[in-house]
Chain A
């Protein structure tokens, strides 16, 4: 029995075993640090990539807005009075003379309408404070109200 105990003691106190424990502990810390650093790098790299994509997209949006405005103006040039007259004449149309016009009443036709480029402004409706008190009152307010409620209940008031 003593022999076994001495063997166990010798095993546990062996120098190489303590070294192994230290190395193991060091490696464990190293692995943990590596994992944290790896995760951090991964997340940072992905965030940076997405951030860069957003920057590119913002630049694209700005460019597309420029192009849209430019195209609108080109459309304006293509439908300008001089261009439209030229095209109409090429297609064989002639300007109408006053005595050539035939006037008829078209039931339900309201006439030419003013262009609507955007919706009309809507009336501004004043929004009353709709947040529940829990979002606005302080802790002290809440405690004060509770205390007041308890005192009212104690006095016999119905909740």
Chain B
């Protein structure tokens, strides 16, 4: 190696050594510079992964035969990632065309520069799948058309993104809406169930969100945890019966001019609610219309949330108590003079007439206030109120629905109870109860004195297992013999009266009710609450129906507006529940 070559090699070696030193120095600087360290930490944490919260799908709700009443639909949130946004005009224009968003306001929202406080802008939510498909087409076409183009104002949808999530959907729209309730967002933007089943079982239906670390580094990929969906519920409601009850109710309201109405159908043997129709109803897919549909203090579900003075249907409870205690017998004769004095007030009949000697069937058949006030006086206040409490009046029934009200039963000892209340309470005045409370109490009469807890949830499906609920006995306010005696008495009173509630081929027990509506000045209004409670077939009760029509206009009498509705309800029920006429049933099953 000559001297000239040695010099060259030395220069080259020095250059390489210098470069190595510079690189090393730079590396040391980067490793120790606080800003660079911060940058690297951020970059590393971004590329390592992120904490992701998985929200389980909200549990579904089915009717008793598995028909979907509440489910989930996939919808999208559309937004813009400001950092990736290339052409705000294209994005604003596209969203104007596809989603109908205002071009100017969209452009203004997305034109802000990206910063630590402005990373992502939500532009629309609950966008359906077909709109997203249109956006995808736009995106593809723009990419194909301007892929090779260079320049500042090249059309681009870069930065526009959409994310799928679930939205609560009710396939039956307004059907059973008063039972189901709906899902909205609270003040903090969190998803929350309102009213009915959605509120009562909100936690159960919503499930447990799980937050896990999701690595972006493919070498550190981990198994995504299994997030179980929220629990699904199978209700006791029969969709077909519910459809029919709501149709009958709507038709009745139109014909009678009543302000509102409620029909409750129970299985008295199990306490299962087969249908609960009331007004008004809301298309649950448009829950934001709530304020328009439910004006002022209108309860969401009158069947459980609105107590009212039931009037003469209450007489079945008074008579049941008196018969059970032995205060009267079915053949006890009462001489109706048309007036009865109790606690310093006078009780009159609905027609202010005197009906002469009447046995207990006559008292019920003609719905004599005077007679029932006398019956209650024979029973005595202590026993009367003990029986009423046993029937659950004044207490919550405990049904699995949000917003239940207990009604009011004044009892001796209360500041506002007077001796005269015994007389008025006997025929359903001065006492308030919800339609469901009345139905549950009357169901004890249909079920040999056994009062079952009302149920609306039949099964729960959680973590892949189905848990069925069981009928629950909540009391036996009267003896079985009393219940059968009263059922027979009410059946004969309907038959002797040739009531419009009767259905050919079926023996039915029932009682009408017409109640005056209290005002701040007493019972001064001409408007009434018309009711009917009935059950059948009497020898093997499969259904109990409670009807309440608020302030009917066509007639003020329960026997004229509510009884025919009962007949129509039963005519549908016997078909939907496969209940043959009594003679056919006896011949088929030997009963």
Contact = CB atoms under 8 A, between A and B. Distances in A.
Interface in B454-479: 458-459, 461, 464-468
Contact of A114 (B74, B224, B458, B467): B458
B169 A117 contact: no
B424 to A, nearest CB: 39
A129 to B, nearest CB: 26
Nearest to B246: A81
Contacts of B571: 98
Contact of B68 (A76, A101, A121): A76
B588 A103 contact: yes
Contacts, number: 122
Contacts of A48: 218-219
Contacts of B553: none
A131 interface: no
Interface residues of A, number: 45
Nearest to A100: B575
Interface string A20-33: 00000000000000
B72 interface: yes
Interface residues of B, number: 52
A73 interface: yes
A120 B464 contact: no
Nearest to A85: B243
B264 interface: no
A101 B465 contact: no
A70 interface: yes
Interface in A59-110: 61-63, 65-67, 69-70, 72-77, 79-82, 96-99, 101, 103-105
Interface string B3-33: 0000000000000000000000000000000
A69 B240 contact: no
B171 A121 contact: no
Interface string B63-83: 011111001111000000000
Contacts of B240: 81
A101 B575 contact: yes
A77 to B, nearest CB: 4
Interface in B20-74: 57, 60, 62, 64-68, 71-74
Nearest to B589: A105
A121 B465 contact: yes
A44 B468 CA distance: 52
A159 interface: no
Interface stretch (A3-11, A49-57, A146-154): A49-57
Contacts of B92: none
A65 B229 CA distance: 11
A49 B219 CA distance: 9
A140 interface: no
Given A77-B171, A112-B65, A120 B72 contact: no
Given A76-B171, A120-B468, 15 more contacts: A44-B219, A51-B217, A51-B218, A55-B216, A61-B224, A66-B74, A69-B57, A72-B71, A81-B172, A81-B175, A98-B574, A103-B580, A114-B459, A115-B66, A120-B467
List the 6 shortest-distance A-B pairs measured between CB atoms, nearest first: A51-B218, A76-B68, A115-B66, A73-B71, A76-B171, A70-B74
18 contacts: A48-B218, A51-B219, A52-B218, A54-B221, A63-B164, A66-B74, A69-B166, A72-B60, A76-B67, A79-B171, A80-B173, A81-B240, A82-B172, A97-B575, A105-B589, A115-B234, A117-B466, A118-B464
